[in-house]
Structure 1
Amino acid sequence: MNPATALSTVLIDELVRCGVTDVVLAPGSRSAPLALAAHADSRVRLHVRVDERSASYVALGLAKRSERPVALICTSGTAAANFHPAVIEASESGVPLLVLTADRPPELRGTGANQTIDQVKLYGSAVRWFAEVGVPEERPGQVAYWRSLVCRACQRAAGPPDPGPVHLNVAFREPLIPDGDASWCEPLDGDASGAWFRARVAPPSAALHIPPTRRGVLIVGDGAPTCGDTSPRRAWRAGPCCRSPTAAAGTATTRSRPTTSCWATRSGPTPTGPTSVVTLGRPGLSRPLLSWLRRAEEHIVVAPDLTRWPDPTRSATQVAQAVEIPIAAGGDAWLRAWRHADHVAREAIDAVLDSSGLTEPRLARDLAEVLPNGSLLFCGSSMPIRDLDQAMRPRRGLRLMANRGASGIDGLVSTAVGAALAHNGPAYALIGDLTLLHDQNGLILGPREPRPDLCLVVVNNDGGGIFSLLPQAALEDPFERVFGTPHGVDLGYLAAASGLPYALVEDPEELSRAIKGDGLRIVEARTDRVGNAAVHVAMRDAVRAAMRD
C-alpha cells in the first residue's frame, strides 16, 4: 500500500471512530487519496460539491444543525482559500468543522509547481487549532501518530468549552491512488496487543472511575494541578488504582514526598512494568517513564483543559479532568517492591556522588538539600533539571520551577529574575554556563528597578555539557566545535561587569557558605564535561549492580 492511501484510510477510519458521520468533498487531484478513502467507507455519508465555497457552507450547515464535527476536504491551491469565508463563520459562531486541505509535499513548495500555495496556517486565527500532518512514510509509529492527531483535532473542534473549526494540512506525494498492494509495515487498525488506543475523552463534569489493579503507578510531571481532586498531594495519599508507587518528573511538586526515583524506574524490581498509568502534568523528561506509558495497557491522562492534553508517546487511552482513585485492600507487594528498589537505587547513587568530588549531579543534589525552607529553586532546561531528577532527595519546603513548555535555554536568567521578584522568600537558580551567556542581559537592572533576592548557581563546563551524554560525543573530530562549543568566558569578569557579587565553589563543602547572601549574585562551580559523562555512567552501573544484588 502506498503511503498516501495508508494515511487516508487511517484518517477516515479515525474520524468515524471519533463520531464523524458526514464528509463534504470538493473534487480535485491532490485530494484523491482522501476522496477515495471517504467514498470506500460505508459508515460515512459523503456529500460532493463542485464548488469549494458551496461545499464549505454545506459542511457548515451540517455541523451547525447536528452539533457534531463535519469533515470538509479539498485539493491544494486556491481551492483551500475558497473555504476561508465559511471557516470564519464557523469560528465566529462556534461551529465544529474539520478542514482537511490536501497539499503538495515540501519539495514542490516555493518552486512555481502547479496548484501550490502556502497553506500553512492559511486561516490564521480563524481556526481553534492547526496542524501540518506531514508527508506520510512507511515506517512504524505512523499509525499511532495519525490516529492521535485526528483524535485531538476532533476533540478540539467539538469542544467544550470553545467549539470551532480545526485545520489539518495533509501533504501527499504520488502515487495518489491505490496500487493494489494491501501490505503495510504495521497494522493500520492496531494489533492484538493494542498497538494504538484512541483517547476516550470524558465530559468535563465527569470523573473517571479506575477499577482496582495491582500494578498501577501515578506519574506526576511538570505543570500538574496543585489543588482539587486531581492534585498530586491528594493523588499521592491514595495512589492510583491501588496502593501504587508515585514517580515524579521534572519540577513535580510531589518531590516533597517519597517517590520512585528515575533510577528505580530504569532497572525496576520486576521484569514487567505497570499495567495502568495515570499521568498528571507533562511526563516528558524521563525516558524510562515514557517507556512505561508506551507499554501500559491503560494510560489515563488527567488534564484541566480537555482541548489540550500532554501525551508525548501518543499512548493515552482515556483523558479526563478528574479521576477517582480507589484503594484496594491488601496487595501491597507491588508498592513494597518499588519502595525497596528506590531505596537501593538512592543508596547506590549517593555512594557514587559522595566519592566523586564536585560533580554536576552532586551539586544538584546538595543544592536542593541545603536550601532553606520557603526557597524557590529555578532549574535550567538542559542538564540541571535532569541532574535534579536523577539525584535530588525528596524534601519539603522547596518550590521547584523550570521553563519546560518548550524546554529551551532562551531567557532563563530573566525568567528566574521574574520568578524571584514574585516569590515571597529566597530564590535560587541552577543553570548552565551557556544558559547564562545566552541571557546575560537579564543581569542588567536599572538603578531604580526592584532587586530580586536571587542566587544564580552556574555550572560552568565550558560548553554544552548535555551533548557529552548523547551519541554525538562519539564524533571526535567535529564534536568540540559544533556540539561542545567551548567559549572560554571568565564568569568572574562577567559578574564584575554587571556589578554583581561573585563566588567560586571548588569543593562540595563550600556550597552552603557560597550561596549565602541577598540580592542578585552569582556562584560558579567549574566542572569537566568528560568527567561528568563518566559520573553518569558510574551512577547507571552502580544502580544496575545494586539491583542485581
Structure 2
Amino acid sequence: MTDTPAVLADALVARLLRAGVGEVVVAPGSRNAPLAMALWAAAQAGAFRLHTRIDERTAGFLALGLTKSGSRAAVLTTSGTAVANLHPAVLEAVHAGVGLVVVSADRPARLRGTGANQTTDQIGIFGPLVRSYDVASVAALEAVPAPWGAVVHLNLQLDAPLVPALPPHRAPCEFVVETPESGQIRMGREHTDLRQGPRTVVVAGDDSGPPARRLAEAAGWPLLAEPSSGSRTGENALRTYRLLLETALGDTIERVVVFGRPTLSRPVTLLLERADVEVLVVPGRGVWPVSPPGSRTIDAPAWAENGPDDPAWLDAWRTADRDLARRVDRLLASEPALTPYDVAAATHAALPAGGLLVVGASSPIRDLDLMLRPTTVGTRRKIVANRGLAGIDGTISTAIGAALGRRDSTRSLALMGDLTFLHDQTALVLGPEEPRPDLTIVVPNDDGGAIFSMLEQGAPAHAASFERLFGTPHGHDLASLCAAARVPHLRVTSRPELDQALASPNGGIEVVEAVVDRSGRRELDRRIRKLVI
C-alpha cells in the first residue's frame, strides 16, 4: 500500500532527523515536490539548513562536501535523468567511505513501465555498491535498516496529488532532533604489536588521520603522508618523500605500514609492489580492496617497544628531505615566471591555523604534495580532496559544501586547475537566498590539461596528437565566466601579486586566477627529478 505523499514526506523528515542529517540539498522538480515542500517547512522551523541547486550533479557534490567536512547531508532529486546526474558524487562517496543520503522521487509501482514521461528504472540505479530501498509507505521507510553509515539510497514512490492543498507549516517544537546514529558500532579493537627490526616507513593515504602520525612518532619512523591524509604534521612527516623513494635511501626500505589507500604517487605504488618489502595495511574507509596483493592486513597497530627504533634511520630521511627541499625551492625561485608549484605553495601558506583547504584532482594536489611543509600538530588545518575516485568533476561544489559544513573554519580556500574549474562552473550559480561561504578559489590557469604532459602521452613522440587529445586548450576567459555568475575575480601573473591577492580576501565566494605556462611543464618536472640524482 502506498501512503499519501504528504504522509510519506513527513515520515522522511522525521527519519532524516533521527539519522542525524542537518543539511539538505534540494534539486527542483515536479515528482519530488511534496518532499521538497516538507523539507522546506522543516528548515523554516530550524530542523535543517536548506540548500537549493538547479543542477543535480552540483547538488550531489555539494552534499558530499558538506558531509566530508563534518556535517551530515542528504540530497533530494526528482525522477528520471535527475537521479542519474547524482552518480559521480555517489561513486566518490562510496569509494571514499562518506555516508551520503540520497533521496529520489519516483512514480508509484502501478505506473512504472507505462511509458510515462521522465521515468526509468531507479531501483539500484547506482549499482551493487549502494544500498537502494524502494519505499512506498511509512512502514517501508521505517524498515530501512540503521545505522546509515555508508551511502544509502531511498527511492520514494509518490502518487498524486503532488502539491498539498495548503502550504506545509510546522512549528519548531514538532521537530526534535534525536541522537545521531553512528556509522558503525565499534567493538574493542585488538592491537597489532610492531617491533624493531626492518627499516620501516609509514605511508598515510587520504583521510588517514592522526593514528599514522602517532605510530611514526612512537616508533621513530619516517612519515610519508599525502596532503589530504590528515597526518602531514609533526617532525616525522617528510615533504619530498616521493622524490626520495627513487633514491638509494628508498631502495633500503624493508617494511611499510600503510594507513588508508594512497593514490597520488607512482613511486609509492611501486614501493608497495616490491617483492623485497613487507607491506602491512591498516584498512581505510570505502569499498576499495583492503590491501594490495602480497600485503597483510593489520588492526590498530601499536609500537611494542619502550623507545623508538634506530634513530639513524629517521635522521637519514630528515636530512635528505631538508636538503632536497632546499634544492627544489632554489630551482623554482630561479624560474622567470609563475609556476603551478608556486601557486600551490602560496595557497597553503595563506591557510591559517583552523583553516580549510579543498584541493582538486590532477596536477594541483600533486603540486601541493611536493610543496607542502608539514605543519604543527594541533593547528587544525584541514585539507580535503575527492580521492575516492579522484575525478575532477564537482570540485567547486565540494569546496562550497565543505566550507559551509565546517562552520568554525578560520578561513576556507580551494585550489583547482582551470579544466576542473570549468567542469563545475554551474556550482557558481546560486540563488539570492542560498547560504554562501567565505571561500577563495585559486585557479592556476595554464589553458589545458598539464598533467598529461608529464605522463607517457606527453612524450615528444606523440606531439602531433597531444594538444587535440590531451592538452585540450580551451581559450576561455575566466573573468567573464565569473562576471556572469557575479563572483569577484582577480587575475595575477606573479608570486608577489598572488601573495597580495591571498592576503586580502573580500568575503563571500571569490576567484583568484593565477596565469601559468603549460608549455615547459614536462621539462620543469624533469629538472626537479634530476635534483635527486
Q: Say which structure, 1 or 2, has more relative contact order (CA 8 Å, 6+ apart).
A: 2
Pair 483,344 (structure 1): closer, same or farther in 2 beyond 3 Å: same
Mark the runs of 5 or more structure 1 residues left unpaired by the alignment.
1-120, 129-161, 163-202, 545-549
User: 2-side partners of 1:303 and 1:370: how far apart?
Assistant: 33
User: What aligned pairs does 1:424-503 form with structure 2 within 5 A after superposition?
Assistant: 424-425=408-409, 426-474=411-459, 475-503=462-490
Say what the alpha-carbon RMSD is for the aligned residues: 2.6
240, 257, 281: which one pairs with 1:301? 281
User: What aligned pairs does 1:330-349 form with structure 2 within 5 A after superposition?
Assistant: 331-349=310-328
Does structure 1 conserve the Cα–Cα contact (< 8 Å) formed by 2:202 and 2:221? yes
What TM-score comes out, normalization by structure 1 length? 0.58
Is 1:504–2:484 an aligned residue pair? Answer: no
User: 2-side partners of 1:404 and 1:393: how far apart?
Assistant: 21
**Deviation (angstroms), 1:393:** 1.4
User: 2-side partners of 1:427 and 1:410: how far apart?
Assistant: 20
Instruction: State the AA in 1 paired with 2:426.
Output: N
User: 2-side partners of 1:505 and 1:264: how far apart?
Assistant: 30
Is 1:525–2:514 an aligned residue pair? Answer: yes
171, 192, 196: which one pairs with 1:212? 196
User: 2-side partners of 1:367 and 1:292: how far apart?
Assistant: 30
Q: Which residue is equivalent to 2:251? A: 272
Is 1:350–2:329 an aligned residue pair? Answer: yes
Instruction: State the AA in 2 paired with 1:292.
Output: L
Q: Which residue is equivalent to 2:166? A: none
Aligned residues: 341
User: 2-side partners of 1:431 and 1:264: how far apart?
Assistant: 23
Instruction: State the AA in 2 paired with 1:255.
Output: R
382, 388, 394: which one pairs with 2:362? 382
Mark the runs of 5 or more structure 2 residues left unpaired by the alignment.
1-123, 132-148, 150-186
Q: Which residue is equivalent to 1:29? A: none
Instruction: State the AA in 1 paired with 2:300.
Output: A
User: 1-side partners of 2:130 and 2:424: how far apart?
Assistant: 34
Is 1:254–2:241 an aligned residue pair? Answer: no
Pair 377,126 (structure 1): closer, same or farther in 2 beyond 3 Å: closer
User: 2-side partners of 1:252 and 1:329: how far apart?
Assistant: 23
Is 1:372–2:359 an aligned residue pair? Answer: no
Instruction: State the AA in 2 paired with 1:447.
Output: P
**Deviation (angstroms), 1:543:** 2.9
Does structure 2 conserve the Cα–Cα contact (< 8 Å) formed by 1:263 and 1:543? no
Q: Which residue is equivalent to 1:543? A: 532
Larger CA deviation: 520-529 vs 349-358: 349-358
**Deviation (angstroms), 1:275:** 1.3
User: What aligned pairs does 1:54-453 form with structure 2 within 5 A after superposition?
Assistant: 205-226=189-210, 231-239=211-219, 243-258=220-235, 259-260=237-238, 261-268=240-247, 270=249, 272-295=251-274, 296-303=276-283, 309-311=289-291, 313-317=292-296, 319-327=297-305, 331-356=310-335, 357-396=337-376, 397=379, 398-423=381-406, 424-425=408-409, 426-453=411-438
Deviations 1:234-265 (A, max 9, x none): 223213xxx21111124122222231223443
Deviations 1:388-438 (A, max 9, x none): 111221224321110000000111110011001112221111101111111
User: 1-side partners of 2:269 and 2:517: how far apart?
Assistant: 29
Instruction: State the AA in 2 paired with 1:494.
Output: L
Instruction: State the AA in 1 paired with 2:399.
Output: A
Deviations 1:68-108 (A, max 9, x none): xxxxxxxxxxxxxxxxxxxxxxxxxxxxxxxxxxxxxxxxx
Does structure 2 conserve the Cα–Cα contact (< 8 Å) formed by 1:206 and 1:320? no
**Deviation (angstroms), 1:294:** 1.6
Pair 347,263 (structure 1): closer, same or farther in 2 beyond 3 Å: farther
User: 2-side partners of 1:126 and 1:264: how far apart?
Assistant: 36
Deviations 1:323-374 (A, max 9, x none): 1223456622211111111111111111111111310012111221232222
**Deviation (angstroms), 1:210:** 1.9
Instruction: State the AA in 2 paired with 1:490.
Output: D
Does structure 2 conserve the Cα–Cα contact (< 8 Å) formed by 1:276 and 1:298? yes
| Identical positions, percent | 39
Does structure 2 conserve the Cα–Cα contact (< 8 Å) formed by 1:504 and 1:514? no
Pair 310,508 (structure 1): closer, same or farther in 2 beyond 3 Å: farther
What TM-score comes out, normalization by structure 2 length? 0.60
